[in-house]
Amino acid sequence: MRKKVIAGNWKMNKTIAEANQFVDDVVNSIPADDRVEAIVCAPFPFLVSLVEKTKGTNLKVSAQNMHFEENGAFTGEVSPVMLKDLGVTHVVLGHSERREYFAETDETVNKKTHAAFAHGLTPIVCVGETLEQREANETMSLVETQVKKALEGLSNEQVTKTIIAYEPVWAIGTGKTASSEDANEVCAHIRKVVKSVTDEATSEAVVIQYGGSVKPANVDELLAQSDIDGALVGGASLEADSFLQLVEAGAK
């Protein structure tokens, strides 16, 4: 049985005091349970502090982006070497907000995915369609292209360790959630795509999250689906209580 991975993506929110307080509030309540993994995806300025605070606990710390190069003249960017050096374990790649506002492409997502593995970071690779693409019946072909390109050139072992987050863009921060059946259908399709580029064992092992207006009220139904192995959560991950409820749902 695949573990459930609950990742709270704070996006560009909180101050350092609020970030520290959040971790203080949740860290001792994250269960040591093989069925669930809990991650906070925090802005860069908080990472040092959060890694320090979560040492020896069951809460992991993720970045929300990185460059694919190890170092160089890339003003304003953060490298995988820097993240690894800090003790960060995960990195979100290809979030739709980065694709839309910061020119992230399938090609850069692929380069970043390789860079993550080269430096011992676990990538959380985001894919998903816009409303226009869904209405044009392009969801399946779009996520297929995004997944295939993101995973291009990875070994099966690396694909097994990759976390894929299916996030329909129209459901992000809008309060609109894909129905659990629709979300599951796309996640099952993603698993088939993974199988087509790897093998059965890899596709059965890979963790596929759903993201888009996940909250305590709908998480149980989503996680009960056959191919949804966790959630990438924005708004509902900002409050400690709500985040803990989501993690608890993952351990059911």
Does the annotation count 95 as an active-site position? yes
Task: Tell me: does residue 214 bind ligand G3H (CB under 6 A).
Answer: yes
Q: How far is the CB of 21 from ligand G3H (least distance, A)?
A: 20
Q: How far is the CB of 19 from ligand G3H (least distance, A)?
A: 16
Nearer to ligand G3H, 94 or 211 (CB): 211
Nearer to ligand G3H, 167 or 203 (CB): 167
Task: Tell me: does residue 128 bind ligand G3H (CB under 6 A).
Answer: no
DSSP state, residue 224:
T
Q: How far is the CB of 175 from ligand G3H (least distance, A)?
A: 8
# of chain residues touching ligand G3H (CB under 6 A): 14
Asked whether residue 79 is marked as a ligand-binding residue, the answer is no
User: Rounded CA gap, 60 and 106, in Å?
Assistant: 26
Measuring CA to CA, how many Å separate 113 from each of 109, 126, 234, 237? 6, 11, 22, 24
Asked whether residue 250 is marked as a ligand-binding residue, the answer is no
Nearer to ligand G3H, 9 or 180 (CB): 9
User: Rounded CA gap, 26 and 10, in Å?
Assistant: 15
The DSSP annotation for 147-197 comes to HHHHHTT--HHHHHH-EEEE--GGGTTSS----HHHHHHHHHHHHHHHHHH
Task: Tell me: does residue 173 bind ligand G3H (CB under 6 A).
Answer: yes
Binding string, residues 215-234; x marks residues near ligand G3H by CB under 6 A: -----------------xxx
Asked whether residue 213 is marked as a ligand-binding residue, the answer is yes
User: Rounded CA gap, 232 and 14, in Å?
Assistant: 18
Burial class (CB in 10 A: 0-12, 13-18, 19+), 71: exposed
Q: How far is the CB of 244 from ligand G3H (least distance, A)?
A: 16
Nearer to ligand G3H, 88 or 236 (CB): 236
User: Rounded CA gap, 204 and 10, in Å?
Assistant: 29
Residue nearest to ligand G3H (CB): 234
Asked whether residue 175 is marked as a ligand-binding residue, the answer is no
**Catalytic: which of 119, 167, 189, 248?**
167
Asked whether residue 170 is marked as a ligand-binding residue, the answer is no
Which one of the spans 28-36, 105-113, 151-159, 205-213 is the region binding ligand G3H (CB under 6 A)?
205-213
Does the annotation count 189 as an active-site position? no
Measuring CA to CA, how many Å separate 154 from each of 36, 96, 168? 25, 22, 25
Asked whether residue 234 is marked as a ligand-binding residue, the answer is yes
Please say whether the beta carbons of 37 and 6 come within 8 A: yes
Q: Using the CB atoms, write b or e for 205-226: b if 16+ within 10 Å.
A: ebbbbbbbbbbbebbeebbebe
Hey, what are 216's tokens? Answer: 């305590």
Hey, what are 58's tokens? Answer: 């069951």
Binding site for ligand G3H (CB under 6 A): 9, 95, 167, 172-173, 211-214, 232-236
Tell me the catalytic residues.
Answer: 95, 167
